[in-house]
Structures are given as structure tokens and as C-alpha cells.
């Protein structure tokens, strides 16, 4: 029971690490998701805007959507003093970052590592729910399917084959009348 729990925890940890690694790789390889321009929902635009600027100022809002990324930009219209909020992750958006451009066109990061030169967004570090959890569970399941299940199956088949041949399932020593293996002590019932 304890070992089952620790195996699940290890798999989940692998899932989380894989999820973050995939998101960062996508972000580094394709920093600017400009494949599709979509309207940004007004309530989301206002929420992003009002975190940085007075609500009475006029502003524009743009949303770009790529296969594994989303980039929202709100600003005054001359590409200075605007805010970029990016999300990345596959298959669902899992991590996000936000940065503000100052009067000199520089990004200042609020939550994340410093912006890498040439990239529009800093490396995303904030989890996006529920995508972060769903992706992590998915990668954990994939790790189980490819790296755990085959070995479990092989062990189970070997165990059964040994029992069928009258051998101890643990050490393949011939089974006698004793309820435990006389060679290794494995219970035989
Ligand atoms: Zn044995």
C-alpha cells in the first residue's frame, strides 16, 4: 500500500516535471504565438488592464492563439506602456507569465525570471488551472504506460509461469510441501 502510494507520487512528480519541461520548450522554441488573432473577451481584457493601469484610460486588447500558446496584449496603442500576458502548455495551457513594457520599451517582469532578450514574454512560472493539473496527470499516465506497466506485466507473467511449473515465484526454486519457499522464504499461498 505504502509502495503503491509512493509510486503514484513519483509518477505525479514526473508528470509535473514533464509538463513544465514541455511548456518551457515550446515557449523557448516558439516565443511568439502569432498564428491566429482572436478577439479577447472584454471581461478578461478589463481584468488584465486594470491590474496595471487606471480603468478609465482607453486601451486596446489583442489575443493571439497558437497550437500550444496564447498571448494577450493590452496597451495604449503605440506599443509602449502595454502589458503582455502569455500562457503556454500542451495539450492544455498550463503555465503563464505577465510582463509590462515601460516608457522606454523595456519589459519589467512582475512574477517571473527576467525576460530573455528577443522574447516577448519571460519564462512562464505561474500555473494555469485546470490545465496544469490535467497535463501533469496526462504525462504521469504516459510515464506509467511506457515505463512502468510493461515491467509490471512482464513480472506478473514470469511469476505465473513459474507457479505453473511448480517453482517459487520469487526465486524459481522448486516448491515442496512447505507453505513458504524453503530457499528464499517467499509465501507460496
Ligand atoms: Zn523462493
Q: In angstroms, what is the span from residue 48 Cα to ligand 1's centroid?
A: 65
Collapsing DSSP states into helix, strand and coil, what is residue 159? helix
Q: Is the pLDDT of residue 170 over 60?
A: yes
Residues having C-beta closer than 5 Å to ion ligand 1: 168, 170-171, 173, 181, 183-184, 186
With both helix axes pointing from N to C terminus, report the angle between 2-29 and 131-143 in degrees, rounded to the nearest 10: 120
Output the pLDDT for position 101. 67
Q: In angstroms, what is the span from residue 184 Cα to ligand 1's centroid?
A: 4
| 148, 164, 170, 180, 181 from 160: Cα distances, Å | 19, 6, 10, 16, 15
| Range picked from 7-16, 56-65, 104-113, 163-172 for highest mean pLDDT | 7-16
Q: In angstroms, what is the span from residue 7 Cα to ligand 1's centroid?
A: 25
**Least reliable range by pLDDT among 121-125, 128-132, 152-156:** 121-125
Q: In angstroms, what is the span from residue 152 Cα to ligand 1's centroid?
A: 19
Collapsing DSSP states into helix, strand and coil, what is residue 20? helix
Amino acid at each position: 500500500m505504502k509502495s503503491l502510494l509512493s509510486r503514484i507520487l513519483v509518477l505525479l512528480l514526473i508528470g509535473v516535471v514533464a509538463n513544465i519541461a514541455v511548456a518551457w520548450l515550446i515557449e523557448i522554441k516558439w516565443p511568439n504565438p502569432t498564428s491566429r488573432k482572436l478577439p479577447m473577451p472584454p471581461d478578461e481584457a478589463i481584468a488584465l488592464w486594470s491590474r496595471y493601469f487606471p480603468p478609465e484610460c482607453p486601451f486596446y486588447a489583442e489575443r493571439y492563439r497558437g497550437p500550444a500558446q496564447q498571448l494577450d496584449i493590452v496597451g495604449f496603442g503605440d506599443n509602449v506602456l502595454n502589458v503582455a500576458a502569455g500562457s503556454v502548455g500542451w495539450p492544455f495551457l498550463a503555465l503563464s507569465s505577465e510582463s509590462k513594457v515601460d516608457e522606454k520599451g523595456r519589459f519589467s517582469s512582475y512574477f517571473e525570471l527576467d525576460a530573455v532578450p528577443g522574447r516577448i514574454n519571460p519564462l512562464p512560472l505561474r500555473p494555469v488551472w485546470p490545465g496544469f493539473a490535467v497535463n501533469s496527470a496526462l504525462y504521469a499516465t504516459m510515464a506509467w504506460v511506457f515505463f512502468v506497466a510493461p515491467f509490471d506485466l512482464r513480472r506478473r507473467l514470469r511469476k505465473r509461469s513459474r507457479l505453473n511449473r511448480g517453482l517459487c515465484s520469487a526465486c524459481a526454486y522448486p516448491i515442496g510441501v512447505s507453505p513458504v519457499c524453503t530457499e528464499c522464504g517467499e509465501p507460496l499461498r
